[in-house]
Amino acid sequence: MRNRFRMSLVLVFLTAACGRGSAPPSPTAPIPPTPPPPSPTASLAPPTPTPAATPILPSPTPPAAFQPRVEVVATGLEVPWALAFAPDGRIFFTERPGRIRVIEGGRLRPEPVATLPVAATGEGGLMGLALDPNFAQNGYLYVMYTYRSGNALRNRISRLTLRGQTAGEEVVLIENIPGASIHDGGRLAFGPDGKLYATTGDAAQRDLAQRLDSLAGKILRLNPDGSVPADNPFPGSYVYSYGHRNPQGLAWHPTTGQLYSTEHGPSGEMGLCCRDELNLIRPGANYGWPVVTAAPGDPRFVDPILHSGDATWAPAGMDFVTGERLAPWRGHLFFGALRGQHLHHVVLGSDGRTVVFHKELFRGEFGRIREVKMGPDGALYFTTSNRDGRGQPRPGDDRILRIVPGP
């Protein structure tokens, strides 16, 4: 029987009506060239795969007795997709229709700091958000969003500069990433190496995930100025790992620095279903889509360390708990589940590969959970996504919430 969590009815931040403004027009920028297809040696010699994984049954009790509570941070939002915390305590977040908004001093500003000309079609729109490691000095925000190019949908990664209450001066870093109304990936995050990482979906063209001359179905790694890092696994290419269907979460282990990603499994393609994944990411590795799913132990590919089997999670944002405020969970991994409508709690072994415990929290209590982010105040934040066309909105949706110690 799952733990019951008491929800604080006190609104930590007040919500105002969604304002709309306009951002300066996007300058044109050439896309850096994608590499040619790899040689057979490069494509058939990936890193040694992890041992085959099978769905791991949750332990009957958590590894540490802990009864947190959930507080409401903001309500009345429209598909809050990503969260980013500024050094001064401000909370920036994206709403999929195209707005970047901010909570400051405990209040949600009524006007967005930017409204971008996105194509909010299906799963597309304004998605990822990351603040520059030197944000306090340069005011740089990085976004990933869907746009129209003729009759086609594409995704791009851009940098904005915050000046006062407005973010603009868009600089396009990468564009023409294949897009669609489904499978756009969209997560952005800075790694401990100072590089910007991005997830891209297969844009409903599954064969693109295996092509190194396409940016679809990949995890990308770039310098903050948009150039290709010299130490990327494929020279001259943004591609960091490939063979992904629709990865939507990125997080680094706070001690080891290992990179993890969540990924949506098939939902009917080739007659297959479910098999959502938690992956340990290696540079240059091939994660198998669409050739394999789940954990077949095929030596050409890297298996997930955890997958959902015949269940569907639709995993999204993820993060590790750090600090003392949620000390019983310190070092544990949490990711949101959209279709699964829960927060997934994962405990890893010392090798960073073995899942020793996992459990569903809050199943059905908040609906679809998308972003999960550790806050500088020691609380674990998450967002609902019940107004994305696939959920059942409840009073106050969509919301930003946070987990703090109880009672």
Active-site positions read: 183
Element (H, E) at 138: helix 135-138
DSSP 181: S
Give per-residue burial for 40-77: e unless 16+ CB within 10 Å, then b. eeeeeebeebbeebebbebeeebeeeeebebbbbbbbb
Do 171 and 216 contact (CB within 8 A), yes or no? no
Radius of gyration of the chain (CA): 20
Determine what percent of the chain falls in helix, strand and coil, rounding each to the nearest 5: 5, 40, 55
Count of residues making up the chain: 407
CB count in 10 Å sphere of residue 377: 12
DSSP state letters, 80-120: EEEEEE-TTS-EEEEETTTEEEEEETTEE-SS-SEE-----
CB 221 within 8 A of CB 238: yes
Give, rounded to a whole angstrom, the gap between the first and last alpha carbons of the chain: 19
Angle among Cα 302, 145, 150 to the nearest 5 degrees reads 110
